[in-house]
Amino acid sequence: MADTINGMPVEVWEKLQARFPGALHPAQPPERGDAEGYPQGGEHRMTRSVSRSVLQNRPRYEGVLVHSRHLLDVMRFLRDELGYVMLSSLTAVDYPEAVGQLPPHIDVVYHLFRLEGGGYVVLHVHTAREGAILPSLTPEFAAANLQEREVWDMFGVRFDGHPDLRRLLMWEGFDGFPLRKDWREAYFEEEHKPFRSRFPEGGSPLYAEERTPYHANVRYSREFAEHNLHVDEDFSEADALLYERMLSADRDTDKPLKTEEMILNMGPHHPSTHGVFRMAVRLDGETVRHLEPVFGYLHRCHEKIGERNTWLQNIPYTDRLDYINGMTNNLAYCLAMEKLLGWEVPERAEYIRVIMAELSRVVNHVLAAGFFSNEIGMYFTGSLYALEERELVLDLFEAAAGGRMMFNYMRPGGIARDLPEGWIERARALVRGRLPKKVKQMQSFLLDNEIVRARSVNVGMLSAHDAIASGVSGPVLRACGVRYDIRRAEPYGIYDRFAFDVVTREHGDAFDRVALRFDEVWESLRILEQALDAIPEGPIQSHRLSPKMLIPPGETYARIEAPKGELGFYLVSDGGANPYRYHIRATSLLNLTPLSALTRGVKIADVVSILGSIDLTMGEVDR
């Protein structure tokens, strides 16, 4: 686009320059064009020295470089005066070696969006690798809370002023910061896949177990001696810090009646927590005084594995993020790759993508409502209605992609395989015939039910302001009355061609969040009808893909309106066959940011109601 500089609108850049003269630098040096004529999709593997020199020039890098002492001022200016209210993604990239004139550093990256759309602003802040420290945004930008904790956990960047800087995904006391480039896991074999032991000759691969001293996936630091091999009986260091936080936060010492409070752990094994999510709750009688979510029980090291994988190898991994919506995860990752590659997608593939994404949304929303009814006590009954419809949609997915849950269906530049014979007719019959009837039935069973209303109306009220500030997206945000949908705000693919409404509700309580999902199902069915009628014949893939395809150097952030909200992929390529940085902006994690505030002062039974209405998948929360 002509009116952008470094990926951001020109006027924003000019205003920033005027407000902070001399303090900001483009992250991209003026000489451009290094990426032109770059081999794309070629078979050969680049040598590391070539890729290193490409990295030094940092072409196609976005945004502005901000000194850490200006960070808070720039952020405030962007939020208060330019309207960049959504701190969407906050992550870091580790550069263990000098890049051009830059010494080894950790680059913390902030992506900001406006509600009106119109591109993002990227801020880069550098910090030294040793004793890495940056000012925390959390006191003023709630959305930074969990993301800063994650950066501390994974990269070891301290955030000065963060009220609760504990590890997010790993436990307290874990050795090392795993996403640093020089940190190697116990089963480390090589920096990048495909490993020489398996490709191209194959032969007899070494078992990963044979490379570690304990024949298990563990690794201890050199200082960790035998005499350290004991731990406290009751709980480890991790929980000690957690309970300390629980007991110190929001103490009300002026209570007229002295009562004894207790700490209750809900989860990680609990029927209402959607998997392995843990909430440590401080209770006064039945009233929640403080709730601290504990993450990481399903942290599968997605990003570290993703940075070892080749670009295409990551597609099946994305299926396992939010495992209800494999299709939309595929889509977001492929969009990000296409942005870096500059590839177009054939018409038919675009339609198929929309159809798959919207079918996925229908399944997700219906399931979310079903599981919500689980959590408020209708044991499995509500889910059974949802699961029945899910099976029918999964049949369609299976016919197209070959798998029920894990699809590996989308590719950069198109999709993997075309629809089989008769698929469109089957889909049309489902979308026109059965689904509307069944969704209507389920909607009336659930939403007109007096008990459901009693358990959810006015429970867990989230204001629009708080929702935006804490980085909430998707149906949770729209239930607060914010008309924000990425399909409309910044349309990707061919969403601008379809007629559909961005539905909202006003109250932002648990009931609205559930009810809004049904409203969205109707809009999805509208899109599906249009797409199924208009889908053209034609090719489904614009480029030939090779397993070790290269992607030109640069960075990008692509996002979609996934069923749960904004799903973003932040990719950095150094021109090689693997992502240099592969970060997932997880919807479910960010949607949990306001959980602690939402549950303060409610009854313990309402906690499950609130959690159920947020709709999370642990695979995506913990990655």
Q: What are the residues binding other proteins (CB under 8 A)? A: 169-171, 173-175, 178, 185-189, 208-209, 214-221, 224, 226, 228-231, 233, 236, 238, 268-271, 274-276, 296-302, 304-305, 308, 316-317, 320, 323-324, 380, 383-384, 387-388, 390-391, 404-406, 618-619
In angstroms, what is the minimal distance from the CB of 214 to other proteins?
Answer: 5
In angstroms, what is the minimal distance from the CB of 150 to other proteins?
Answer: 13
In angstroms, what is the minimal distance from the CB of 205 to other proteins?
Answer: 12
Judged by beta carbon, residue 216 or residue 429, the one nearer other proteins is: 216
Residues 473 and 67: their CA atoms lie apart, in Å, by: 29
Judged by beta carbon, residue 29 or residue 268, the one nearer other proteins is: 268
Residues 327 and 416: their CA atoms lie apart, in Å, by: 12
Judged by beta carbon, residue 41 or residue 316, the one nearer other proteins is: 316
Judged by beta carbon, residue 14 or residue 191, the one nearer other proteins is: 191
Judged by beta carbon, residue 293 or residue 413, the one nearer other proteins is: 293
In angstroms, what is the minimal distance from the CB of 548 to other proteins?
Answer: 19
Judged by beta carbon, residue 32 or residue 211, the one nearer other proteins is: 211
In angstroms, what is the minimal distance from the CB of 267 to other proteins?
Answer: 9
Instruction: Return left, alpha or beta for 149; rule: phi > 0 is left, psi -120 to 50 is alpha, else beta.
Output: alpha
3-class SS of residue 609: helix
In angstroms, what is the minimal distance from the CB of 157 to other proteins?
Answer: 19
Read off the tokens for 585.
């902006």
Residues 546 and 436: their CA atoms lie apart, in Å, by: 42
Judged by beta carbon, residue 242 or residue 480, the one nearer other proteins is: 242
3-class SS of residue 390: helix
* Helices 71-80, 10-19: crossing angle, 10 deg rounding: 130
- Where helices occur in 342-407 by DSSP H, the ranges are 347-375, 381-401
CB atoms < 10 A from the CB of 184, how many? 14
Judged by beta carbon, residue 50 or residue 231, the one nearer other proteins is: 231
In angstroms, what is the minimal distance from the CB of 392 to other proteins?
Answer: 9
In angstroms, what is the minimal distance from the CB of 556 to other proteins?
Answer: 25
Is there a cis peptide before residue 26, judged by omega within 30 degrees of 0? no
Cβ(513)–Cβ(476) under 8 Å? yes
Strand ranges in 16-175 using DSSP code E only, listed in sequence order: 24-26, 64-66, 86-95, 105-113, 120-128, 133-135, 158-160
Write down the residue that tokens 């809370």 correspond to.
Answer: 145
In angstroms, what is the minimal distance from the CB of 451 to other proteins?
Answer: 20
Residues 354 and 468: their CA atoms lie apart, in Å, by: 27
Question: Cα 147 to chain center, whole Å?
Answer: 11
Judged by beta carbon, residue 217 or residue 444, the one nearer other proteins is: 217
3-class SS of residue 583: strand
Read off the tokens for 222.
């050199």
How many residues make up the chain in this entry?
623
Helix (H) or strand (E) segment spanning residue 441? helix 435-447
Q: What are phi and psi of 421, to 5 degrees?
A: -55, 135
In angstroms, what is the minimal distance from the CB of 270 to other proteins?
Answer: 7
In angstroms, what is the minimal distance from the CB of 391 to other proteins?
Answer: 5
Is there a cis peptide before residue 412, judged by omega within 30 degrees of 0? no
In angstroms, what is the minimal distance from the CB of 579 to other proteins?
Answer: 16
Judged by beta carbon, residue 54 or residue 312, the one nearer other proteins is: 312
Residues 216 and 186: their CA atoms lie apart, in Å, by: 8
Read off the tokens for 28.
């991209």
What type of residue sits at position 24? L
Judged by beta carbon, residue 81 or residue 237, the one nearer other proteins is: 237
Q: Which of 65, 113, 62 is nearest to 87 (CA)?
A: 113
CA distances from residue 479 to 448, 462, 503, 514 in whole angstroms, order as listed: 18, 9, 9, 9
The DSSP secondary-structure symbol of 496 reads G
Question: Cα 431 to chain center, whole Å?
Answer: 29
In angstroms, what is the minimal distance from the CB of 273 to other proteins?
Answer: 9
In angstroms, what is the minimal distance from the CB of 368 to other proteins?
Answer: 13
Judged by beta carbon, residue 379 or residue 433, the one nearer other proteins is: 379
In angstroms, what is the minimal distance from the CB of 386 to other proteins?
Answer: 9
Give the DSSP letter string of 188-238: ---SSSSPTTTSSS--SPPPGGGGSTTSSS----TT--GGG----SS--HH
Cβ(65)–Cβ(20) under 8 Å? no
Judged by beta carbon, residue 195 or residue 420, the one nearer other proteins is: 195
Judged by beta carbon, residue 233 or residue 450, the one nearer other proteins is: 233
3-class SS of residue 13: helix
Residues 78 and 66: their CA atoms lie apart, in Å, by: 13
Give the DSSP letter string of 587-605: HHHHHTTTHHHHTTTSBHH
Judged by beta carbon, residue 126 or residue 219, the one nearer other proteins is: 219
CA distances from residue 298 to 198, 353, 408 in whole angstroms, order as listed: 28, 28, 21
Judged by beta carbon, residue 380 or residue 534, the one nearer other proteins is: 380
In angstroms, what is the minimal distance from the CB of 393 to other proteins?
Answer: 12
